[in-house]
Structure 1
Amino acid sequence: MSAEHEDLTQILPTGVVLAATPLGNVADASPRLAHALAAADVIAAEDTRRTRALAAALGVEITGRVVSNFDHNEDARARELLDAARAGTVLVVTDAGMPLVSDPGHSIVAAAHDAGIPVSCIPGPSAVTTALALSGLSVGHFIFDGFAPRKSGARRAWLETLVHERRAVCCFESPHRIAQLLEDAADVLGVNRRAAVCRELTKTYEEVKRGTLGELAKWAADGVRGEITLVIEGGAVEQAEPEDLVGLVLDLVDGGERMKDAAKRVAKEHGVKVGDLYDAALSARE
């Protein structure tokens, strides 16, 4: 490693620094995280005891002030942290993974940006990307929806929005509710939609259970333990028939576009043959 790179690992900038923490395996902590825990002037932690335990496991002595920064106090804490960030380094960490990703951190980061205070990030573990990679599903395009809604009505309404979603969907869920979520998902999205339940990521009892939603709902009925990240594959693209698209072509023609050009544009957007759509539009116009 060059001297320049060695120096970069030791730089801890003034301002707010976000840092990802291990999901479970302490060995996933980066050298930059260890250095930041030791050198930060203030550490804003979701759980101060867990952060101190992490530092101890890494053999790091915390020299700065450690304050709590969790869901119910982060708005009130922001002003204090901003004052500290103007003069030194405020390190923001959560219990596991990246701050702001369904974890505290948004209040201080948004306020820092608004105040012109530098914000930087020490990257690292994330349950979202880890589950997506392990799922074995088609996840080239995906959305992350945080925790699934708790109440049945809201949960089913959320699932309804995913019926025609072509991207993979990643979410977190409690072990006490995963069975019901999978049952509702199988009912709303179809028993044959594929998914993966990823539990206890990076920990001793890590498990990835893949299958259809119907299969996974039956598997989870007996109970599932641990911290869970669910990945649901995107829905299949429905193939439209030329006759169903004729109205779109004629609307474009009425707007001044040539029939052939209109048919070509609509056919490309919906994956049908131009000739078939053109003939169908001509027949309808006649």
Structure 2
Amino acid sequence: MPSTTAITVQQLSRLVGLPDAPILIDVRTDEDYQADPRLLPASYRRDFKTVSTWAAEFSASKVVVICHRGQKLSQGVAAWLRHEGIPAESLEGGFEAWAAAKAPLVSASAIPPRDEQGRTVWVTRSRPKVDRVACPWLIRRFVDPDAVFLFVDPAEVPLVADRFAAVAFDIEGVFWSHRGERCTFDTMIEEFGLRIEALDRLALIVRGADTARLDLVPQAAGFLAASLGLSRMFRDDLEQLEAGMLLYDAFFRWCRDATEETHNWPAGGKAQ
């Protein structure tokens, strides 16, 4: 009989990257983590021994707990969270099964240092259009759900990065930026080690829209139009980012699930 308190690799892989994905908590021992310092996308690292002190952080959230093989540590932590009223499951087979299935993993060494609240902090130019919305979407959906994004005058980005211990992106002369014909979104996918076919499709659309190469894929022109329209709708960059998250969520789902679908109504005739 299938477990009612566990989720399979296949089931969880269909939820990764979606706005309603469960919170993922990695409770592998330090020894197991150091042996393979990669993380499931957007997951948190927590010490299983202190679950009673951090459980409240995830109240009112659906949670999946990951240990090395999906046995005592993840099942014990998930049971504790359920005791606290938090819907929690363990990952069947754990990290080992996820890696064996070649499901997406994030290189932990690529994730910048976090602030005192455990968040990565990023800074870029104000008035985002394409890349400066694409990158925050990628980070929040696949790397750090709590990431902070600061939008400032272009000339101030390096100084703000220095004074506020933030990571500059999508400006000239920094690590997280364009490389050749590829945009910053491409750079982040590569550096974080995100091997996901749907992200590769989305990256082509973003690259075409961001670098004025609308011939790369048919969707690039419409994507650019939607992005520029959003930039005209909002004066506040963070409000624009929140609205843009939905745009990227929709295109990611199209890239993953709907590329073969067409729409033709009424088929073979004129609408009456």
TM-score by length of 2: 0.23
Decide which structure has the larger Cα Rg and report it: 1
TM-score by length of 1: 0.22
Structure with higher strand content = 1
